[in-house]
Structure 1
């Protein structure tokens, strides 16, 4: 990219509009910025977020998240946002595949990856796998509030399990 600083400044301006709840203006600023810097993946991440959370257009959200990952393969926010998108859109199999494909990337937060993986397994009614990944999420996080959420999830999953499933957990730990 010829002028990285200028692209960052344009992103900052778009982010400011979005944080002021000027979503349409922020979206227009991002599209305008893409005409100057078409290979700057962070713009696509923000567009994915707008389409995902503000416009509820999952097709466009997915397109922009994937473009962000393709164009900026080390930009962690795009991976995490895409992970939340897959969960929100009920694409649990895709979420599981996505996490397994990207788990070894050092720049991604393992606690978040494992937590979302656990949620996907829980909603697919694979409670033992869900429990296993919630345990890994707990092991790989340092955020206190996130730890509380994970502990709550562990209790919830155990309460959904039958007697023999719970018993098998005792034998493993």
Structure 2
């Protein structure tokens, strides 16, 4: 959890503004994937957070649909990243929930972009890298959608729309059984 105690954090649901609206939820437990490894480019980079009170799916709060199809989204298919990340490497995080349209980048092309500096695993997908809109500081852990299904969880990449380097996402379908096991 980045050096934070869970008692210092809370989850807000049902608002597109970071500082107002929605419902606030205490974090009861953070379940980090047991094989999470930072030293290997954030392999198995996901967790489940249990909250109190449970989310009420009303007033703008809805569950996302998780992608279960094991196939990667097709190269260049349209994806959408959602988050409160900053608009540039120097700016503060946004108060408004923002979205960015990004192209999916096929894994071998993504691996070629990063070369020997990083390994792109079968459990990851890539998007962006055009140098215009992309993930930035504060977007980490945010969802990537294709056809209104969450296909990815933002894991890592070069900062803030660095041209030629797509952002790397944990592939949701690869972990669907793990997610279901820990959310039952």
Greater per-residue helix proportion? 1
Greater relative contact order: 1 or 2 (C-alpha under 8 angstroms, separation 6 or more)? 2
TM-score by length of 2: 0.23
**Length-normalised TM-score, structure 1:** 0.24
Q: Which structure shows the higher strand fraction?
A: 2
Whichever of the two has the greater Rg, that structure is 1
